Amino acid sequence: MLIAGFPAGPWAANCYVVATGPGAECVVVDPGKDAVDGVAEIVREHRLKPVSVLLTHGHIDHVWCVVPVAGAYDATAWLHPSDRHLLKDPMAGISPESAAMMLGSGYSFAEPDDVAELADGQRLELAGLHFEVDHTPGHTEGSVTFRTAYQRDDVSEVMFAGDLLFAGSIGRSDLPGGDHATMMETLRTKVLTLPDDVVVLPGHGEQTSIGRERATNPFLQDLAGDGAAPQVTRGL
């Protein structure tokens, strides 16, 4: 499997390109601001053909370039219906600080030509890859993760986690559409139930694993011990 990623734009949101190998079809995960050139470089280097864009949630730092990326390659964009409104109205899910960065920018936003909606438990077959979709609300109402098998003895799956789980932290839940209690339930039922050898590719920062986070992430440790994890402010 080929997975290439880079932090895009002022929010350093991780964008990933995933394929079975060089010269194959691929999917793009979370093309945020300024991601167009990075995606194009990876596509050229590995002779790839994007066929789909997977969006972990609708926040602007993860979807800013979905229209130009999907349009350039005639690719379908996949998003949970609860976050679909954010494609046209990204300010509805943004923090005041982030909104201030954009005042006077003159940008307008719209849906890509081809949008498909995701559902919990859905199995996607794209670019020769199989993705398991988990609806993981808490950061936003329509947050999802994508898991795909990884054929290595010490890694069973790779999970594209968006802003659900980070190395040493979790996603914030204080923005419009976020909910702390829902986030805790999602972490309890959709993260702590996964095997330790699942590699986590988050929406910001370095990669980690379920086992590492189970052992060292204070929010997951508090949750496993029935403590109440404090609020955090990671992400937009």
Structure confidence at residue 219 (pLDDT): 92
Structure tokens at 230: 């404090």
pTM of the model: 0.92
Residue 229 lies in a domain: no
Burial class (CB within 10 angstroms; exposed 0-12, middle 13-18, buried 19+) of 86: buried
Look at residue 233 and tell me if it is in a domain. no
Residue 234 lies in a domain: no
Q: What is the pLDDT of residue 228?
A: 47
Q: Is the dihedral of CA 168, 129, 61, 87 positive or negative?
A: negative
Segment 5-62, tens digit of pLDDT: 999 999 999 999 999 999 999 999 999 999 999 999 999 999 999 999 999 999 999 9
In contact, 138 and 171? CB cutoff 8 Å: yes
- Whether 67 has a pLDDT exceeding 90, the answer reads yes
What is d(CA 131, CA 20) in angstroms, rounded to the nearest whole number?
13
Residue 84 lies inside a defined structural domain of this protein: yes
DSSP H helix total and E strand total for the chain? 8, 14
Q: How many domains does the chain have?
A: 1
Gap between the Cα atoms of 110 and 157, Å rounded: 33
Predicted pLDDT of residue 180: 94
112 lies in which domain range?
2-98+107-224
pLDDT digits (tens, 9 = 90+) for 196-219: 999 999 999 999 999 999 999 999
Give the CATH number of the domain where residue 76 resides.
3.60.15.10
Give CA–CA dist 130/62, Å, rounded: 22
Q: Which of 83-92, 103-112, 155-164 has the highest mean pLDDT?
A: 155-164
Matching residue, tokens 């559409």: 177
230 domain-assigned: no
**Digit-coded pLDDT (tens) for 176-196:** 999 999 999 999 999 999 999
User: Is residue 236 domain-resident?
Assistant: no
Looking at the domain assignment, is residue 157 inside a domain? yes
Q: Name the pLDDT band for 114 (thresholds 50, 70, 90).
A: very high
Indicate whether 235 belongs to any domain: no
